[in-house]
Amino acid sequence: MGNKLTELLDLAKHIPEKYLEEAITALKGIKQQADDDKPTANCPHCESDIVVKNGLKDGKQRFLCRRCGKTYGESTNTVAYYSHNSETVWKQVISDTVEGVSIERTAESLDLTHQTVFTMRHKILMALELDDPPLISGVCEADETFVLESYKGKKLDADFWREPRKHGAVAQNKGLSNEYVCVCAATSRDGGAIALTVNRATPSSENINEVFAKRLGTAALVICDGSKSYDVLEKKGVCNVAHIPDNEGKDDGFYNINTTNGFHSFMKERHRDARGFATKYLNRYNVLFEKIYRGSKYLVDEIFSKLFDGQNRHNTVAATKSCRLLNI
DSSP string, 72-129: EETTTTSTTTT-SS-HHHHHHHHHHHHHT--HHHHHHHHT--HHHHHHHHHHHHHHHH
**pLDDT reported for residue 39:** 65
Q: Is residue 289 part of a domain?
A: yes
Q: Is residue 183 part of a domain?
A: yes
**Any bridge partners for residue 223, and if so which?**
141, 242
Q: Is residue 164 part of a domain?
A: yes
**pLDDT reported for residue 151:** 87
Domain limits at 251?
139-295
Q: How far is CA 20 from CA 11, 26, 154, 289, in A?
A: 11, 10, 43, 42
Predicted TM-score (pTM) of the model is 0.85
Q: Is residue 273 part of a domain?
A: yes
**pLDDT reported for residue 1:** 47
Low-confidence ranges of the chain (pLDDT < 70): 1-3, 35-39, 168, 245-252
Amino acid sitting at position 23: A
pLDDT tens digit string along 211-256? 999 999 888 999 998 889 999 999 999 999 999 866 554 556 788 9
- State the Cα–Cα distance between residues 103 and 84, nearest whole angstrom: 18
Q: Is residue 99 part of a domain?
A: no
pLDDT tens digit string along 181-213? 999 999 999 889 999 999 988 899 999 999 999
**pLDDT reported for residue 248:** 55
Number of structural domains (the chain) is 1
**pLDDT reported for residue 196:** 96
Q: Is residue 192 part of a domain?
A: yes
